[in-house]
Amino acid sequence: MDSSGSLNFGDNEEKIQEFAKALVDKFDVNPGINGTHVSIVQFDNEATLLLGFDDLQTKGNVGNTIDSYKVRDGQTFLDRAIDLANEQFEISKGMRGPEYRKVRIMPSYLQICTCKLKALNMRSKPARG
């Protein structure tokens, strides 16, 4: 979840939280093998893991984690978020098998993109826009 300074005006924080919770509500989030498992990375100058695959996988816990999201200062280093997200795709960190290795990215303009991590080749540059 983008928390860069470009979002630090109006009620953007609330709108982003509401959007993320509405998105999560569309999935069957649960700790079972067939449930949707969620990991949340917050990013600006740095990337921070808010929720890992080995954390409690319930809609309530994911919603509470989304509520902890705060817009901060800083630039938009999406590549750092992708790097941290990529690190979560390990069985030792709660990930299941390779067929589940996808990431949902929500940049500041709230466009959702699903992409395979292996296809990404980004370097550390702030996003412009």
Does residue 124 surpass a pLDDT of 80?
no
Q: Would you tell me the crossing angle of helices 12-25 and 59-67 to the nearest 10 degrees?
A: 170
Alpha carbon distance 123, 120 (integer Å): 10
Domains (range + CATH), the chain: 5-119 (3.40.50.410)
Does residue 80 surpass a pLDDT of 70?
yes
Q: Report residue 48: phi and psi, to 5°.
A: -130, 130
Top-confidence residue, 42 or 99: 42
Residue range 86-113, pLDDT digits in tens: 888 777 877 777 666 565 555 543 333 3
pTM of structure: 0.73
The answer to whether the CB of 46 falls within 8 A of the CB of 80 is yes
Among 38, 20, 41, 127, residue whose Cα is nearest residue 84 = 41
> Cβ atoms within 10 A of the Cβ of 5, count?
14
Element (H, E) at 16: helix 12-25
Among 49, 51, 71, residue whose Cα is nearest residue 61 = 51
The per-residue pLDDT for 29 is 92
